[in-house]
Structure 1
């Protein structure tokens, strides 16, 4: 990438929004002066007021109700937002990244190796342009809040070598050649990689070398690999059966050898079809999951069966969050506040009207 391409990749745009009350406003903040990080939007309620106004995850807060947010601590920012009843005015900045053209040549897939070697697909993931080092990870990564929740467990899905398949007849005829057809076009007489002798009859071409068919064998059981597929590992050649018994991992649930995709979860390996959601019985694969009483659950089923939302902010109460039960609902400890003055009511005497908590001083205030 040239210097001209790097310049102007990232631009800061400032915009303002006004959310009409009452709360909840549909967003949560992270950072603050006490965290030595700018106040940024860390999570949005789908379909909430902030989403409808165009607020995005990772946007930095410049001001809250005409008060500069740069010198606000996290609690001060929360209190300022709670104090807004009829409307909430925000000025935010957003990092815009312009696309960078990358030229790449065509990638040709490797030709099937003779002898039945299973092809191993390779995937290239483009590396995103890095944001300035001074910006926190929850700004540069819009999925930071969901990925690093304390109660969320993730999985890793890898591709184990597929079992070798018999070489198709059309391919087999191209790698088995008769002596009367003459030497290859290179003009060189084929030499067997096993015995180092000149090959005068039929021969195989595998791993970039030539072999007598009867000498192309599994290094463990010595079975001839002329017809079936094979695996190469650390310079040795194995048939499918010997390779699986020697290198393939076992499934932690069914205890059988894994010869296809491998699911890595809970520091163990599973068949993809063995690691299922305990509720819907669908393979979890590389999706996030939750553990409850030793059983894995996909995210949607866990929310339906065990999830609890805060009645104040409408966000889920995560494991490790401080919360309380009042008025028949669950609340984050910081969300249980007077509906009029926003004073925190945790551990204090309170009154209620229309399912909203009120402090003693506003107990008879009309809502």
Structure 2
């Protein structure tokens, strides 16, 4: 028996294929939002290795063990050339793959580039593979008390694009927070809902997917980074995700995702059954009603009415009022803190004077755009 096998059995790290299907991947959010400078195979191999970590008993020497048989099954590789391909994948991962992690520090940011798995050992006559993590990556994988995300390894295995994996991890991070705060409380209703409907700027999305210099035509970017990955995510994971583009001027400024959680069917596939759909729809309607009621009580609504930027008819539309409460009124609160209530009044008076730009079909978006353009100017003036 090989020394690798001996150590693996002693540390109980060799996993069966059935165990792999039940494994969870737990990572710090900083790793989820980092730049993965690698293609899909090293990224999936990293996720597989992370799933082998027992977070209750961190591995000694930062080392885990798994079976080649299960590794090939995870990657769905069965041809005679699989050992050579495995060797090439490991070499590529060690020579080219790294995470670039950004951490806020002092007056700026500190950047770390970490090769996550610098050492892999295996033989051609035994089944076990030894994987050793870099010591610098371990704080993002163990002893995690807050700001971490857990997702299913089995869902990662079905994704065939690097961008699908990156987007799935980021969506999981947000939805995990939605489930946590929905159950535990500690956040306002609109904050909780924002985790299920997360927004990311196009600039941030390009950085996270390492496509700053790629897919310059936005139609290509949308297809490669959004449409194809979401088609995979919707087909193979527990999420059903749609998105909408948000414009700033003539350009697409950000993307808002809408995440639905499916339920597991008897055949281990996922589906949105009618009952679950109706229950979720009812929860959304209830949340929307609560937000609309909060908006109607707000002083900001009174100011909008006084400036004829909102009609009594529009006040009866819960979608409009909920949209104002979630996306617009928090920005008015920021302006109020900087310039007082008169500052908000002056801003709305100016917006009302330019009513020819007002779209009656999307008042919340119009007002959000107006305050988003104005706030940075106010903040700069306050600092000067």
Q: Shared topology, TM-score over 0.5? A: no
Of Structure 1 and Structure 2, the greater strand share is in 1
User: Shorter-chain-normalised TM-score: which range?
Assistant: under 0.3
In proportion to residue count, which structure has more helix? 2
- Radius of gyration: which is bigger? 1
Length-normalised TM-score, structure 1: 0.18
Q: Give the structure-2-normalised TM-score.
A: 0.18
